[in-house]
Amino acid sequence: MSDQNQEIYALILIGIVLALVLVGFIMIILFLYQRRQHRQEKQLTEIKTRYEQELLRSQLEMQESTFKTIAQELHDNIGQVLSVIKLSLSILPLEKVHPAFESIQNCREMLNKVIFDMSNLTKSLHTDRISEIGIDEAIRFELDALRKTGLLKVYFAVSGSSQFNNPQKATFLFRMFQEMINNILKHAQANQINVDVIYTTDNKFVLKVADNGIGFNAERKQNQTTSASGIGLRNMVNRAQLIGALISIQSETGKGTTITVELPLEK
């Protein structure tokens, strides 16, 4: 009888061991399966991110190409036509006592302003010029044009030694800067902006744009899919990611907005 009990106990023990082995095997299979799924999901996410970044990069490159074409057309065609009109008005044989003299003078002045503004616009759109004069001077030029409008008090400062030698990243940063200024003019209701370009001792480029406007909820604005301003902010964030820059948006209702872009520079 005791032999039978021992056999029963042995069978039970063997059954328990086999059950434990089976459970352990199943758990290992599930663990490996989950690990594989996690790895695949991570790979798919990376592929999707790379695809989205490449798509965005292509869109931005097409946009820059379009800007360049528009700038060239403005300069070569419309600019030349306006110059011919200006020359034609200047050689009209009109005395000061002529009834149309004052009107012609007003037209010439307006034409001069149009030519000047179009020249500024052409320079702002042309990608090659940003590369030629550098990010600092491109920003300075844009702010000088804004200062002349009288819409805002503009303060600009550059500190540190300029070490920027990547034309593509410079163009991306300049377009981000233009988006910031555009948002300030459209939404901030500000009367003053402060722009700082800083080259840090640890080889970083920092762009800081601050206004004294009405401010906004930055997080909510970025998540609004139907908001034009929210799209503009997301575009800035996407551009920053493409060039490896960090962007921070600090804003509070009634307390203005400060946007800071920080980019490690190539040694």
On whether both 170 and 231 belong to a single domain, the answer is yes
Q: Which pTM was predicted?
A: 0.59
- The first and second tokens of residue 266, run together, are 């190539």
pLDDT of 179 > 70? The answer is: yes
Domain count, the chain: 2
Residue range 78-100, pLDDT digits in tens: 656 666 666 666 666 767 777 77
Specify if 156 maps to a domain. yes
Query: What is the model's pLDDT at position 109?
Result: 74
On whether both 169 and 266 belong to a single domain, the answer is yes
> What CATH number does residue 166 fall under?
3.30.565.10
* DSSP annotation string for 154-181: EEEEEES------HHHHHHHHHHHHHHH
Task: Identify the domain containing residue 202 by its residue range.
Answer: 152-267
On whether both 191 and 91 belong to a single domain, the answer is no
Residue range 196-250, pLDDT digits in tens: 999 998 889 999 999 999 988 777 766 664 545 466 777 788 888 888 899 999 9
Label residue 257 by pLDDT band (50, 70, 90).
very high
On whether both 107 and 18 belong to a single domain, the answer is yes
On whether both 2 and 120 belong to a single domain, the answer is yes
Of 123 and 163, the one with more pLDDT = 163
CB atoms within 10 A of CB 242: 16
**Crossing angle for the helix pair 167-183 and 228-242, to the nearest 10 degrees:** 160
Specify if 168 maps to a domain. yes
Specify if 166 maps to a domain. yes
Specify if 242 maps to a domain. yes
**Closest-CA residue to 261 (of 188, 173, 154):** 173
On whether both 108 and 28 belong to a single domain, the answer is yes
On whether both 10 and 104 belong to a single domain, the answer is yes
Specify if 108 maps to a domain. yes
Label residue 158 by pLDDT band (50, 70, 90).
very high
Specify if 75 maps to a domain. yes
On whether both 187 and 259 belong to a single domain, the answer is yes
Residue range 19-50, pLDDT digits in tens: 666 667 677 776 776 677 667 666 666 665 56
Residue range 107-151, pLDDT digits in tens: 777 777 666 666 666 656 656 777 778 889 889 988 988 888 788
pLDDT of 189 > 80? The answer is: yes
Specify if 145 maps to a domain. no
Specify if 204 maps to a domain. yes
Query: What is the model's pLDDT at position 153?
Result: 93
